Structure formats: structure tokens, C-alpha cells
Amino acid sequence: MADQCMQGWILATLSVLFATSFLLIKKKERGTKKDLLESRSKSVNCTATTNEECRSGNFSDADVIIVGAGVAGAALAHTLGKDGRRVRVIERDLTEPDRIVGELLQPGGYLNLIELGLEDCVEKIDAQKVFGYALFKDGKHTRLSYPLEKFHSDVAGRSFHNGRFIQRMREKAVSLPNVQLEQGTVTSLLEEKGTVRGVQYKTKDGQELTAFAPLTIVCDGCFSNLRRSLCNPKVDVPSCFVGMVLKNCQLPCANHGHVILGDPSPILMYPISSTEIRCLVDVPGQKVPSISNGEMAKYLKTVVAPQIPPEVHDSFLAAVDEGNIRTMPNRSMPADPYPTPGALLMGDAFNMRHPLTGGGMTVALSDIVVLRDLLRPLCDLNDAPTLCRYLESFYTLRKPVASTINTLAGALYKVFCASPDQARKEMRQACFDYLSLGGVFSEGPVSLLSGLNPRPLSLVAHFFAVAVYGVGRLMLPFPSPKRIWIGARLISGASGIIFPIMRSEGIRQMFFPATVPAYYRAPPVKRD
């Protein structure tokens, strides 16, 4: 009876929150729908003539220089090349990357791949379909499925070896005759009177060269050495991932990502091929136990192994004994660009979030769709100041999707980490139980997580619905002073988690992008 009352209370709360959210969203959509349709119409009309008419001036041998050929750089090169731009890509290392992150693409990211014509890049690399998540806590688990009923049967998440995926993207890009991919290390941006005109780089054999283009897009990843001249980087490193590959085992829930709410922090598992399972153990802080002296193996066996599901326990221990253990810092960096004529930042060089939710590639691919649609009407990229002012709208248009995924990643990580504080414990348990309720309680958050419905208002509604659910449980069967105090601290703690993240993302751009002046800027008019 108490559970039924609780669910009724939560449904009533959600109804009010969603009704408010719906009205605000519809109001914004009515105000901007005409502008969006006109912009889309211009984009479509221009695309047919891009190959011949939309050429930049003759002072350079490319329309666009892209620094970096990772997921963002390779996908952008193919996208702009397909639209007729002459694209020059400079990548530090053209061998197949070997990373322990960037291996899980959410369904929203896969839809962006389709939009960009890159969906075949997940073929022939033994990629695995992912249909949702399994959440484990204290011996219990719940399955959270992606809401894919309205989509084609091929639409799902994908998990794979990161390097194989990137190589397929590079191959796809260079299959276009107007895309040039070369190996080199970009050392600096070439500026003239505050305008970026190109780059200086070193070839594989040490030769120093320069390349010029009206627009330079920096996509050189989380270790970018160019971002400082284009943005204000505030990089936070809340934790590190310890990565291993488990073999000869099956996950408890096939074709699902697994999140174990361990102590002190979450453990992730998901398939990256038909025979391999990626395991990522989150270690809070910037220091991890030493691998070389055996401290890491001891930590994994004594602290982590007892929390691993029994189906993969033996394979986990075997992977530890094998010793192929790798670490990587988890970085978070809100987007804070300096609008610079002739240059643009994208990908992890520009914006990062905790990789717990696997949202990085979805954000990058969504950004490429936004940028493609902005550039399509432009037949001349040479007017750098005007182009810079126009492309400021990119930073606004990307915000609702990117900020929702970024905020969710940061908030979930803090909620999922263990804490001695009783209010934090209650919030963590409430989150697990809330998602276990099913229906709208799980479908809404999973829609956000998957990138299928990345709406900021929906995120806030569900986040505080979890907090209300946690407080409601504390009040049953009767509210004692201690329970009331813990409930108040729970609400305060929830606010202290999500509001600072949203503030760093930009409240106005995130919730009311149509009020930002750059949102209304029309494409520059071509001069005769």
C-alpha cells in the first residue's frame, strides 16, 4: 500500500513537472519553427550547388583544415567533403588507435551516424548491438531498455574497439577525392591580425610545413595542445578508469551495458566484440594504485572482485592475472570558447564530460550535424570576421543536446559514487529504486542517457523526482525529526550536485537558447 501511495505521489509530481516542461518547450518551438524551416530550406537549396559554386578563394589549397582524425575529425572530414568542400586533415598518428574509452556509441549517436551517412562504419568491425543497461547494487539488479519501439530495427547502441571504428571512419573520409589525409603534428595556429589563417606542422620525417585555409577546425582530442588559444580550458579530473578485457565469459544480460554501483565508485562492463568484454573500474581521484609493484592487482582482487557479478568473476580474476591493465584519467571540461576568426573547436578538444554514460561520441556527432547545417548555405568562407560572428550560433545551437548529456554524466557519477554521508546514501538508493520502478520512471532517464531525447527540462524533472522519491521513502511510515533532517539534506545535496554543473554549462544557452542573440544570425550574404 505504501509503495502504491509513493508511486502515485511521484507520478503526480512528474505530471506537474512534465506539463510545465512541455508548455515551455512548445512555446520555444512555436517561436523558432519558422526560422528553422527557412534555414533548413536554404541549406537544402545550397547543397545542390556546393560542388561548383561554394568554393573559397584561391589563396589556399583547401576550404577547411581539420586538425586531428579521431571520431570527430574523421566524421567531420567526410561530412564536409561530401558537401563539396576541399578538406585537408592533419593527424598526428595514422596507425590504428588503441584506447580503453570511446567504445560505446549510444542510439542517439547511431542516429547521427545515419544522418551523416556513416552508419556502415560500424560494420565489419565485429561491433555489438547494445539494447540498454543493467544496473547492479548490493546483489540486486534491474534491466533498463532503450525506448527503441518507434525506430527501425537496426537502431540501437553499438559497442566496438575504438581503433577499428576510427579506421573505418578515416577510410570513408579519404574515399572522397576532395579529402586529403596526411600524418603530421600540428605545432601552432598561424595568426594574422587576430585571424587564424592556417597551421604550422611537422611531418613524420621532421620537416616543418605550413598549410592555409579560410577555416581551421581543431579536433585534436582530450590532450589538445591548441585549445588554450581558442578557449578557456577548466579541466577537472574527478577519477581514473582502470581498463581490462575479459575473455571467455558472458555478461548476465546479453547485449547490455552493465553498471555496478560499487564501493567506492561504479564499475562498467560492455561487449566490444563477439568474444571480448570491456571492464572499466572507476578509481576516484587522480592517483591510482601502482601497476608495476602489484598494488593495482591487489586492489582489483581484494576490493573490486568481491563486487563483480558471479557470471564474470572468474574471467575478471583471469584478466587481472594476465596483467594487461591500463589506466586513463577521466576528464571533464565545460565548453568555454573564445570566438576566433578563422578557427573553431570541436570534439574532446572543446568539451568533455565524465565517460560513465558513454555520451562523448554522441555529443561530437550531434555537433557535426549542427555545424554541417550551418556551413551548407555558405559559398565563401573567406570573410573571417563575418564567418566568426555567424558561427557563434554553433555554440548556442549545440547547447541543449550537449549540455543535457554533459550534465547527466556529471550528476550520475556523483550520485553513483559511494559516500559515508547518510543523505548521499539515500540518494544513491533512491536512484536505483526509482529506475527499478519501470515505465516512465526508467524510460525517461534512459531516453536522456541514450541521446534519444536529450531535453534539459526532462533531465531536471527526473533528477528532482528521484530526490522527491527518496524524501518520500524517508517520511514513511512516519516522519521523525532525524528523517526530516536527512530528507532536507538530500534535497540540498541534489541541488548541490546538479546546479553547479548546469551553471558551468550555461543556464541561458541550455534552457533558453532562442534568447541568445547568436541564435538568430542569418548566413552571410554572398558578395558579387
Q: What is the 3-state secondary structure (H, E, C) of 438-499?
A: CCHHHHHHHHHHCCCCCCHHHHHHHHHHHHHHHHHHHHCCCCCHHHHHHHHHHHHHHHHHHH
Q: Is the confidence at residue 9, as pLDDT, over 70?
A: no
Task: Report pLDDT for 60.
Answer: 59
Non-local CB neighbours of 400 within 8 Å, separated by 6+ positions:
454, 455, 456, 510, 511, 513
Which one has a higher pLDDT value, 336 or 29? 336
In whole angstroms, give the CA distance from residue 196 to residue 24.
40
The pLDDT, as a whole number, for residue 478 is 87
102 and 71 Cβ atoms separated by less than 8 Å:
yes
pLDDT recorded at residue 519: 85
Q: What is the mean pLDDT of residues 114-137?
A: 97
pLDDT confidence of 18, banded at 50, 70, 90?
very low
**DSSP string spanning 115-142?**
HHT-GGGGTTTT-EEE-EEEEEETTEEE
Q: What's the average model confidence in pLDDT over 85-106?
A: 96
* Predicted confidence band of residue 527 (pLDDT cuts 50, 70, 90): low
Tell whether the model's pLDDT for residue 164 goes beyond 80: yes
How large is the average pLDDT for residues 202-220?
Answer: 95
Give pLDDT, residue 24: 43
CA distance 139 to 157: 26
Q: Over the chain, what is the mean pLDDT?
A: 89
User: What number of other Cβ atoms are within 10 A of residue 23's Cβ?
Assistant: 11
pLDDT recorded at residue 61: 80
- Residue 22 has, within 13 A of its CA and on its CB side, a CA count of 6
Task: Give Dmax over CA atoms of the chain in angstroms.
Answer: 77
Concatenated DSSP letters of 380-399: ----HHHHHHHHHHHHHHTH
What's the one-letter identity of residue 211? A
Q: What is the pLDDT of residue 50?
A: 38
With bands split at pLDDT 50, 70 and 90, how would you rate the model's confidence at 379?
Answer: confident
Q: What is the layout of strands, in order, in the sheet containing 208-212? A: 208-212, 195-203, 179-192, 87-91, 64-67, 215-218, 343-345
pLDDT given for residue 520 in this prediction: 81
pLDDT beyond 60 at 387: yes
Q: How far apart are CA 298 and CA 41, in angstroms?
A: 61
pTM above 0.75, yes or no: yes
Q: Residue-wise over 179-210: b if at least 16 C-beta within 10 A, else e?
A: bbbebbbbeebeeeeebbbbbebbeeeeeeee
pLDDT at 46: 38
Residue 199 has pLDDT above 60, yes or no: yes
Q: What is the pLDDT of residue 49?
A: 37
Task: Please give the share of the chain, as a percent, with pLDDT higher than 70.
Answer: 88
Contact present, 424 and 267 (Cβ < 8 Å)? no
Mean pLDDT within 226-240: 94
pLDDT at 372: 97
Say how far apart CA 145 and CA 434 lie, in whole Å.
15
Neighbouring CB atoms inside 10 A of 94's CB total 15
Which pLDDT band, with edges at 50, 70 and 90, does 19 fall under?
very low
Band (pLDDT 50/70/90 cuts) for residue 486 is: very high
Sign of dihedral through CA atoms 473, 474, 478, 479? negative
| Predicted confidence (pLDDT) at residue 137 exceeds the cutoff of 50 | yes
The per-residue pLDDT for 477 is 87
> What does the DSSP 8-state code read for residue 97?
P
Per-residue confidence (pLDDT) for residue 333, from 0 to 100:
96
pLDDT band at 443 (very low <50, low <70, confident <90, very high): very high
278-327, pLDDT tens digit by residue? 999 999 999 999 999 999 999 999 999 999 999 999 999 999 999 999 99
Q: What is the pLDDT of residues 37-79, one digit of tens each?
A: 343 333 333 333 334 344 433 345 899 999 999 999 999 999 9
Residues 108, 363: Cα–Cα separation, whole Å: 9
Residue (of 379, 288, 360, 377) closest to 326 by Cα position: 288
Confidence at residue 56, expressed as pLDDT on a 0 to 100 scale: 38
Nearest-10 Cα torsion for 28, 30, 31, 34: 130
- When pLDDT is averaged across residues 479-496 and rounded to a whole number, the result is 96
pLDDT score for 10:
52
Mean pLDDT of the 116-121 span: 97
Q: How confident is the model at residue 162 (pLDDT cuts 50, 70, 90)?
A: very high
* Cell numbers that stand for 438 in this block: 519501470
> Three-class SS of residue 245?
strand
pLDDT of residue 442: 95
The 10 Å Cβ neighbour count of residue 306 is: 10
Q: Are 229 and 189 in contact (CB under 8 A)?
A: yes
